[in-house]
Structure 1
Amino acid sequence: MKHFYAIIFLSLFAISCTKQDDKEGNIPEEELDLTACFAVSTDTITLGETLQLTNCSENAVIYSYDFGNNEISNQESPSVTYQQGGSFTITLVVYDDQKHSKTFTKTIFVETPVESYYRFPEIPPGYSGQPIEMGIDPISGNIFYLEKTEDLVNLTMSKFYYKELGMDLIPTSNFIADQQFNTENAYVNFLGNGNKNFHFSRTLPELYGSQEITLNNNWALTSTLSSATKYLYGYLKEDVNYIYYGTQKDNGSYKAVIEKRNANGDAFDVQFKTVGSNNAVLTNMIKTTTGYIAFGATFNKNTMPPFISIYSPILVFFDSNLAVTKTMVLSNSVLGSHVTEANHLNGSYHLIQLSNGNLATYGNGELNVMDSDGNQLKTHYFSLDNNIQAMISLGDTFVISTGDGYLRKFDTTGTEIRKLQYKGTFIPEILEINHRLFFVAGYRTTDTISNIGELAVIKIFYGAVDKDLNLVNLETVFN
């Protein structure tokens, strides 16, 4: 009998414990198998791309998804397409046949495609449009850029156009001239008499020259000059006159040259500068508190390949009267083995001074950062594949573009602190407008033409970033 009472007691105790567990809300052992689970095809999708969810829950009979964008679904393995970019948390609640529930969440990121930040002006199929300069028109206050346009279907001569952007970013176009030989560098000086003085590089492997065109305010040609022995890379305004700088052949050698012109663009003083024993060029120039500093190079000019050899970047310091006071060779440069023909001297060159006095130069794919005396601090070489690249000073930092499709930000010591991969590969300049960095860029693509097939072309687009290199909507630049 004692054994009988013990069995009854144990049975009652077990029943009592089970009822007590139920009263306290504990789930019986047979119901612990309910799990909520789903997998996604990717954690990051592009705006408009479909995201597929695959359910991996166990013992669930009801599924309730909340996609985090005010959309829901009761399908077992649904798909979703997001119409806005950003982070979204997807929540799944599952129920078993006794209405018990389990919850599972996962966060995904929806990228806004890069192209949605850009504006693409219309360029007919088969045409290649490449930006080679950009700036602000001092008369209208509008952004302008110089475009080299090539018809790859009819194979007509390439042409230069002046494109001006209104607030709607729709370009107006004016023809300048036909292209002569190779051109990867250009600029325009808005003269005091209302004329526009255009300069275009004009090179072949052995030819080192320029094309200069002046148009009046009605876009009528007033003068043109093609030179095989001179190229002026840019100018500084000095009171009512201008200081042009570049290179010019004299007694068989290309010499660094400074040419002074009056308000109407007429030259009245030409000064050859000795900055080394070889041929030399001044590619950019800035004014300082004590005089001027120029970025340039020395090189050998040969009649047989390599047509350019022993290329060496330099900094040239001038006093306020444009007398040379010091020449600093940028000895850490690697360009001596990369620059081998006059076409390689045909591109964008930049020189800036930062808020701490340091200097930075950029050209032929090479970035150099120096102290205020010209002593090198850091050198970066990117590529010479595309020499139409930009540089802009932000005071204590600066930004450059590189031919591999990046915008890169550096501190005053030349240390890279941020970069952004963007769609373009050609940027002649970057403009700071309303605390945004605006650019006109070119990118390589293809056009499919009937009876011809695919043609490799360059197309143009407009874009902008903030100073931390985040893409921004163009509307924020002009509003």
Structure 2
Amino acid sequence: MKKFYAIIFLSFFALSCTKEDKGDITEVEIDLTACFTVSTDTLVIGESLQLTNCSKDAVIFSYDFGNNEISNQESPSVTYEEGGSYTITLVVYDDQKHSKTISKTIFVETPVESYYLFPEIPLGYNALPLEMGIDPLNGNIFYLEKTEDLVNLTVPKFYYKELGTNLIPSSNYIADQQFNTENAYVNFLGNGNKNIHFSRTLPELYGSQEITLNNNWALTSTLSSATKYLYGYLKEGVNFIFFGTQKDNGTYKAVIEKRNANGDAFDVQFKTIGSNNALLADMIKTTNGYIAFGATFDKNIILPFITNYSPVLVFFDTNFAITKTVELSNSVLGTHITEANHLNGAYHLIQLSNGNLATYGNGELNITDSDGNFIKTHYFNVNNKTQAIISLGDSFIISTGDGYLRKFDPTGTEIKKLNYKGNFTPEILEINNNLFIVAGYRTKDTILNIAELPVVKIFYGAVDKDLNLISVESIFN
């Protein structure tokens, strides 16, 4: 009981002391507050950032912009010359010299254009990249360009552009465009010639054009077809395995064409895939044979010229006998593909380190396991078919027509994207453990200082494998 009374006494004493102490202190209420707003929390280099003061009872203002600049204006503006995160701090004082402080962080983006190189293209000209790769003879980067004079309306022309160590393109004329073209590629023959293929389509016509040039860029042969469209090839020893579609007894069938080192066909194999017309658009070699990405469809003589389009995976043994066909039944393209021109573009098939397969064409990305069983699908846009994909082993990156590079994990889950502002990217090359692109982008040319003409121009760009922009020159050093 004695302990209990002692505790009560001490508690009463403490409360009494507190009241007496408070009575001796003169409290001063301060209404001063520090406050400011920013016109944006994300801006680009050179863009003006406006700060607006909203402090209360402040008479003196001291801003530190985080870039070694200060200001005593009430509502100043600032422009940043370097990208990065900046913390802006405001200290305000009232007329009694009391102070309050507030900070905000903003982010300054470096314009993506500052990382790129822009080859010179005349005003009023479209310049669209259709293919990109590395010349196996000299190791230089090349790309195929379709150039179109939109002012004088001349026939579009194809050029072979090659980048030397100074990244200034050399240019060689190849051919005039005959029909609509959104796909092209180069086959480097064993005799040193270049065999260049262009798509050749109208809504009701489906074919291709081949141009063969020697080392001096002299034309050695031209072959145009209204019944055959070869989408690409694989190198097989000294020979080549071409794949595509070809008309046979009124039906377009998937076709495999074997050619020798000089580009001469010595074996043509038609493949029946389902009961419809069919095509093989890309192919990879595996330990057990081959896998192709293709499609089946119905071909009509009136609109819609293409119906019942269905993308497929076709599995072959080492002798190109079909062992299995898997329809990618989750596709949405059946309602989008309505003419042969919609089959005129870039198609891609890759295999990741875990065995999963990714197909990409007509704006649709499909991910399956190694047997073709569905995992995930994404549909981006069918209106821009010149797009790329590259495998990074345990992940992959694609370009999309809305101006993004997108990175995915092996299950097809997007893990990062970069607004690189390109709209047409046929391929992505890995160079010195980084990625290089030749991309077309939409812009406008001012003609005679009076008219703005929508055009497509080209830039060279580079990123690391985590989609961070890097300077183009840095990957070649």
Report deviation, 1:355: 0.9
Distance 1:385 1:253 in 2: 26
| Distance in 2 between residues matched to 1:149 and 1:68, nearest whole Å | 47
Distance in 2 of aligned mates of 1:344 and 1:46: 38
Question: What are the superposed Cα offsets for residues 232-290 of structure 1, whole Å, 9 maximum, x if unpaired?
Answer: 11111111111111111122221111111111111111111222222211111110001
Per the alignment, do residues 178 and 53 of structure 1 end up closer, same or farther by CA in structure 2, a change over 3 Å counting? same
Looking at structure 2, the residues matched to 114 and 134 of structure 1 have their Cα atoms a distance apart, in angstroms, of 21
Structure 2 residue aligned with 1:262: 260
Residue 114 (structure 1) aligned to one of 112, 120, 124: 112
| Residues 1:389 and 2:382 aligned together | no
Give the 4+ runs in structure 1 shifted more than 6 A.
none
- Structure 1, 263-272 or 196-205: larger mean CA deviation: 263-272
CA distance in 1, matches of 2:268, 2:347: 22
Aligned-partner SS, 2:375: strand
What is aligned with 1:13?
none
Q: CA deviation at 1:217?
A: 1.2
Q: Equivalent of 1:293, from 291, 314, 336?
A: 291
1:336/1:105 Cα in 2 relative to 1: closer, same or farther (>3 Å)? Answer: closer
Equivalences for residues 144-293 of structure 1 within 5 A: 144-293=142-291
CA 1:240–1:52: 2 relative to 1, 3 Å: same
| SS of structure 1 residue aligned to 2:178 | coil
Q: What is the 5 A alignment of 1:65-84? A: 65-84=63-82
SS at match of 1:89: strand
The Cα of 1:132 is off from its aligned counterpart by 0.7
Structure 1 CA distance, aligned partners of 2:408 and 2:31? 56
Q: For 2:461, which of 463, 469, 475 is the aligned residue?
A: 463
In structure 2, distance between residues paired with 1:436 and 1:399: 12
**Superposition CA RMSD, Å:** 2.1
Amino acid at match of 1:65: Y
User: Displacement of 1:100 after TM fit?
Assistant: 4.1
Distance 2:138 2:371 in 1: 39
- Tell me, in whole angstroms, the C-alpha distance in 2 between the residues paired with 1:323 and 1:331: 23
**What residue in structure 1 maps to residue 28 of structure 2?**
29
Q: Secondary structure at the match of 1:257?
A: strand
5+ long unaligned stretches in structure 1:
1-16
Amino acid corresponding to residue 440 of structure 2 in structure 1: G
Q: Does 1:414 pair with 2:412? A: yes
Which 10-residue stretch deviates more, 139-148 or 86-95?
86-95
Matched residue, 1:63: 61
* Structure 1: distance between partners of 2:389 and 2:459: 18
Q: Structure 2, unaligned stretches of length 5 or more?
A: 1-20
Matched, 1:45 2:43: yes
User: Which is further off, 167-176 or 121-130?
Assistant: 167-176
Alpha-carbon distance in structure 2 between the residues aligned to 1:136 and 1:397: 23
TM-score (norm 1): 0.90
CA offset digits 1:170-223 (Å, max 9, x no partner): 222111111111000000011111111100000000010001001111111111
- Structure 1 residues 342 and 67: CA distance shift in structure 2, 3 A: same
> Percent identity between the aligned chains?
80
Letter of the 2:389 partner, please give it.
Answer: M
1-structure distance, mates of 2:42, 2:55: 22
* Structure 1 stretch displaced more, 410-419 or 231-240: 410-419
Instruction: Identify which range, 38-47 or 91-100, moves more after superposition.
Output: 91-100
Cα deviation 1:308-353 (Å, max 9, x = unaligned)? 1221211111111112222222222222221111101100000111
Distance 1:34 1:327 in 2: 75
**CA separation in 2, counterparts of 1:397 and 1:464?**
18
The alpha-carbon deviation at position 61 of structure 1 amounts to 4.0
Give the deviation of 1:451 after TM superposition: 8.4
The aligned counterpart of 1:401 is 399
